[in-house]
Amino acid sequence: MPTFSGKEDEDVNDWIRQFEVAFTVSGRPEENIRQNKANIAITCLRKITLQWYNEEKEKVTANLVNWCDHNDNRNLKSKLINRFTREDVKRRKMIELTRIKQEINKSVKEYTRRFRLILRIATRGQALHEMYQVNYFIQGLELMLEYQVRRSSSTNLNDAVNIARREEEAKGKLLIKTIGLNIGQVG
C-alpha cells in the first residue's frame, strides 16, 4: 500500500487514487468496505498526516471511521482532502509553475513529468485554461525547443508536449549526424 506523509510535493488526490487501486487489487473483502478502507488507509499515514489523524481522533472518538465521497465528520477520505489541499501550497505551486525551467541535460520527458506534478498540485479542484498550461510549459523549455514549439501554435498541453518531444528527438538525430560527419571527415 502506498504511504502518504503530507509533504508539500505530495498530491493527496494522487495518493488517494493509488491507495484505492492498491486496495481493490489486494482483494480485501467487500463487507463494510468503508470502514475496511479507512482502517487500512490509517496504516498508510506517515509523519504529518499520522500526527494530524491522531489529533483528529482525540477530538471525537467516532471520528474518521469511513472512506467515502460525502463530507462528514466520520469520513477520513474527505477530511484528508480538505486538510492536505491547502491554499498556500496551491499558490506557491502556481508561482513555481510560472517559473519552472527545463534543466540543462534534462529531457523533455523529465521536464514534463515535473511540470505535470506541479500543475496537479497548483490546480487541485480548479481548472487552469489550456492556453495558460501551454504557455507555462513552453516558456520553461530549453530556448531552441521553446522557439520550435511556440511556432507550432499548440492548442493544448498534450500537443505541446508531443511537439517538444519530436523536436528534441530531431535535434538529437541532427547532432548525431553532425558529429558522425565530423568524425568521418577527420579520418
Span 39-86, pLDDT tens digits: 899 999 999 999 999 988 888 666 777 888 777 777 888 888 888 887
Where on the phi/psi map is residue 139: left (φ > 0), alpha (ψ -120 to 50), or beta? alpha
For residue 109, what pLDDT is reported?
97
Output the pLDDT for position 73: 73
- Phi and psi torsions of 75, nearest 5°: -100, 105
Express each pLDDT in 125-183 by its tens digit. Answer: 788 999 999 999 999 999 999 999 999 989 999 999 999 999 999 988 888 888 876 65
pLDDT one-digit tens code per residue, 146-158: 999 999 989 999 9
Torsion of CA 7, 39, 21, 16, to 10 degrees: -30
Q: Whole-structure pTM over 0.75, yes or no?
A: no
How sure is the predictor about 97, in pLDDT bands with cuts at 50, 70 and 90?
very high
Helix ranges, 100-156 (H): 108-122, 130-139, 143-151
- Model pLDDT, residue 187: 46
